[in-house]
Amino acid sequence: MVTKVKLRQKAILNGRLSLYLDFYPAIYDSDRGIETRRLFLGLYILAKPLTLEEKKQNRDTIQVAEQIRNLKENELNKQEVYSVYERERLRQRQRSEHAFLEYFLELAQQRTGTNQTNWLSCYKHLQSYTRGQKVRFCDIDPAFIEGYKRYLTVTNSLRHTRTVSRTAISDNTRASYCFKLKAALRKAYRDGFMEKDLSFHMGKITLGDVKRQFLTIEELNRLARTDCNFMMLKEAALFSALTGLRYSDIEKLTWGEIEYLEGMGNVLSFRQRKTLKVENLPISDQALEILGTRGKPDQRVFPTLKYSCQISKSIRSWAEAAGVNKKLTFHCFRHTFATLQFSQGTDIYTVSKLLGHRELKTTQVYVKIMDVTKRTAVDKLKLDIPLKTGKGKGKKT
């Protein structure tokens, strides 16, 4: 029986039309294991093109879609003229015509928390780099990748306020965006959208040292003795300083994830939002006391805690009231936990496990911090006595 293949359009958001193939009768989709009447091509046109360039882009896209329609109809009705290799090449060509940015956005939406936010920021920069034009997988080559890397060196950050102008992207943020494009290219190759793995064209990506703000035990005690205009935020921050938990894990923490185990004491049993690893971390009696009266197992420990820009403002006001002259964020309390553990002689392997790091090298950044802290501590010890001539500076006597 002859299968008819028609090219059709479906209206979607932002005044665009998605092109798809309509089969009659339905065909079997081996990827999904079902029969289907539709195959969306990942190709889009404007419903109402205004400029000559937009009209030309519509015509070019429809021409590509018609070529795919014709090839698909031949594949279905004249399969005997195609070898296995030719059919695979045809399928590869069809997939390579799909929109890369749509694929990247899908990958971003699969992430969670701040990781998703960073992926979405990278997606917005890719949109800016491509000037909103449709980019197919087959359009991506080493020149596209190098162009994006150059773009990141001259463009500004997307973050801005009404009173503060945009600033250049930091080196580490730029490296982060390159990591994400590299990951997307590698997955696109594995998923069969690209014939070659172009991810290696991103080159070696290195992150620079980031200055991590942390508190001394004296500063932490000052904060503990000072009122905060958001009491639950204060409790959550001090809990982070005593446990090393990230904000994302504290925000969703429930009473059922805190239990007492014979021989181990109080333990947190939870799945990290960032790494998805299941953790069983011991917590001190003092950390447990901060939480107050125990609630029901499915209730959140910090029910009114919700991420917003107000959190950073409250922390800054709290620090100012406590006389702590540091630019604090919630994450500083996690850094504080790590540095205080090292200052008390806890080994790096144990600290790494308590922080839930996947790799030991992630924890090593705190060792560098402690080296600087040791130097500062040593330099503070100064006696008001004259030095003997030629001693201590390598001079000859």
Q: Residue 10: which H helix or E strand, with range?
A: strand 4-11
On whether both 221 and 365 belong to a single domain, the answer is yes
On whether both 225 and 313 belong to a single domain, the answer is yes
On whether both 225 and 156 belong to a single domain, the answer is no
Tally of domains within the chain: 3
On whether both 241 and 355 belong to a single domain, the answer is yes
- Note whether residue 353 is domain-resident: yes
Q: pTM for the full model?
A: 0.52
On whether both 256 and 348 belong to a single domain, the answer is yes
On whether both 287 and 275 belong to a single domain, the answer is yes
What pLDDT is recorded for position 307? 75
What pLDDT is recorded for position 283? 87
- Note whether residue 270 is domain-resident: yes
Sheet holding 16-29, edge to edge: 4-11, 16-29, 34-46
Q: Residue 22: which H helix or E strand, with range?
A: strand 16-29
On whether both 36 and 107 belong to a single domain, the answer is no
- Work out whether the CA dihedral 90, 93, 95, 97 comes out positive or negative: negative
- Note whether residue 386 is domain-resident: no
Looking at residue 325, which CATH number applies to its domain? 1.10.443.10
- Note whether residue 75 is domain-resident: yes
CA dist 346 and 341 (Å) reads 5
How many other CB atoms are there within 10 angstroms of residue 290's CB atom? 19
The structure tokens listed for 196 are 């070659």
Local structure of 17: helix, strand or coil: strand
CA dist 33 and 30 (Å) reads 5
On whether both 348 and 225 belong to a single domain, the answer is yes
- Note whether residue 395 is domain-resident: no
- Note whether residue 388 is domain-resident: no
75, 96, 117 — which closes off a domain? Answer: 96
On whether both 276 and 257 belong to a single domain, the answer is yes
What pLDDT is recorded for position 20? 94
CA dist 313 and 335 (Å) reads 19
Q: Residue 379: which H helix or E strand, with range?
A: helix 360-379
What pLDDT is recorded for position 295? 92
DSSP classification of residue 278: E
Q: What does DSSP say about strands 16-29 and 34-46: parallel, antiparallel, or unpaired?
A: antiparallel
On whether both 17 and 113 belong to a single domain, the answer is no
- Note whether residue 207 is domain-resident: no
- Note whether residue 397 is domain-resident: no
On whether both 265 and 117 belong to a single domain, the answer is no
What pLDDT is recorded for position 169? 83
68, 96, 124 — which closes off a domain? Answer: 96
76, 96, 116 — which closes off a domain? Answer: 96
- Work out whether the CA dihedral 192, 196, 202, 206 comes out positive or negative: positive
On whether both 20 and 157 belong to a single domain, the answer is no
Residues 27, 30, 34, 36, Cα dihedral to 10°: -30
Per-residue pLDDT of the chain (397 residues; tens, 9 = 90+): 688 999 999 999 889 999 999 999 888 776 667 888 999 898 999 999 999 989 999 999 999 999 899 888 887 876 554 555 555 566 666 777 888 999 999 999 988 766 888 899 999 999 999 987 889 988 899 999 999 999 998 888 776 444 444 577 888 888 889 999 999 999 998 888 888 899 888 877 665 555 678 888 999 999 999 999 999 999 999 999 999 888 888 998 999 989 887 777 888 887 766 666 677 788 888 999 999 899 999 999 999 988 777 888 899 999 999 999 988 889 899 989 988 888 888 888 888 888 888 777 777 777 666 655 555 544 555 555 554 444 444 444 4
- What residue numbers bound the domain in which 263 lies? 217-379
What pLDDT is recorded for position 397? 40
Residues 76, 80, 83, 89, Cα dihedral to 10°: -20
